[in-house]
Amino acid sequence: MRVLFLSQRVPFPPNRGDKITTWRLIERMRREHEVTVITFAHDEADLAAAQELNARGIPTVAVPFNEKKKKALALPLLLTRRPLTLGVYGSRQLQREVDRRLPQTDVAYAYSSSMGAFLVGKGTPWIMHFAELDSDKWRQYAEKQRFPMSAVYRREWRTLQAFEARIARDARQNIFCTPLEQAIFEETIPGCPSAVLRNGVDLKHLVPAPERAEPGHIAFCGVMDYFPNVDGCEWFARELLPKVRERVPAAHFTIVGSRPVPEVQRLAELEGVEVTGFVDDPRDWLWRAAVSVAPLRIARGIQNKVLEALALGLPVVGTTPATQGVAGEPGRDFLLADDGDAFARAVIELLEAPERALELGRRGRSFVEERYDWEATFEPLDQILREAAGGRHATPSTT
């Protein structure tokens, strides 16, 4: 079949959560199908990555995207009932590229609701892959922010939820990363088809190296211009790390991830905190960690950062929002704590008992090996594509 794949970012290299998943989807699809990618290029690196995909035999059209400019141009939508998201990610150029290729497409695949907007009402069978329920994310943001941003986020939650219902009814199938998000979807948008396609991890790439762990070293890895990551790291560095250092004076916290915003950069001024910015290989930093933390207070879907830390054999301490998408057992595969004091105590216990930390890391690795190998998690993908296409065969291209 001919598959048209739409994504917010160029799905290569797989160096952040959404790119990891989209690259794996495309890699799996192209074993049996012809895949064409249409995407936004956020910077020069994205444009170069699109050229690399073309060189690898994956036709890729990358439309330049200026996020700051698009956000400014979307502001007038506040006076309407349309979500700001559609203004930010709306693009006549990208829509033209999509429309030109749909007649030669058996099934289209949109990763994120903003990309689904380019397929609604076009008649071509298509699949909506909700990377996360964006409307629910904005609801959580509204609960964490003060006025006026709380009002803006609350508006985005409501308008985007209405739009998600529209695209969900138009798509042949709606895909979610976790049963939790599927349940939220079925409750808020009932009567639409849905399925779960879990994320996975590269077990050959993420190999444990416990001998490299440094005593007292705590690590977090994630893109550091993403609000949930920023909020979680600020909470841990400012409120929890001092409690940990009272018991373990040598404890130090490394924030590993690209594009740290000023709030994150300022955390490096705190005693015992290091902010790396972009690194070539996050494994080099994670291997040095004695404990991996996931102190997210806002999250939905499955957190790749948690799966990857588990795959590396690291003992993980996470909150409910960070771990609820991982089908593991708290206390066996990772430690769970939502209260600040409890979270700090869990980290302290692991730092003070290296053998217990090592055993927790081993159990986490075994759990991921059993449940999250990419080959197993994406096994249903071909059937999902065939059922969505419904026997349609593309019209031969005349261009």
| Domain positions in the chain | 2-197+378-389, 210-373
Residue 294's φ and ψ, nearest 5 degrees, are: -130, 75
CA distance 378 to 27: 11
Q: Which CATH class is domain 210-373?
A: alpha beta
pLDDT of 392: 52
pLDDT values of the chain reduced to their tens digit, one per residue, 399 residues:
999 999 999 999 998 889 999 999 999 999 999 999 999 999 999 999 999 999 999 999 999 999 999 999 999 999 899 999 999 999 999 999 999 999 999 999 999 999 999 999 999 999 999 988 888 888 988 988 889 999 999 999 999 999 999 999 999 999 999 888 899 899 999 999 999 999 999 999 999 999 999 999 999 999 999 999 999 999 999 999 999 999 999 999 999 999 999 999 999 999 999 999 999 999 999 999 999 999 999 876 678 899 999 999 999 999 999 998 898 999 999 999 999 999 999 999 999 999 999 999 999 999 999 999 999 999 999 999 999 998 554 443 333
What topology does CATH give the domain 2-197+378-389? Rossmann fold (3.40.50)
pLDDT of 144: 82
- Same CATH fold, 210-373 and 2-197+378-389? yes
Regarding beta strands 60-64 and 34-41, do their DSSP bridges make them parallel or antiparallel, or are they unpaired?
parallel
pLDDT in tens, 53-81: 999 999 999 999 999 999 999 999 998 99
Taking the alpha carbons at both ends of the chain, their separation in whole angstroms is: 18
Q: Structure pTM?
A: 0.87
Calculated CA dihedral for residues 372, 298, 191, 21, nearest 10 degrees: -40
Q: What are the b/e assignments for 358-387, b being 16+ CB within 10 Å? A: bebbebbbebbeebbbbeebbeebeebbeb
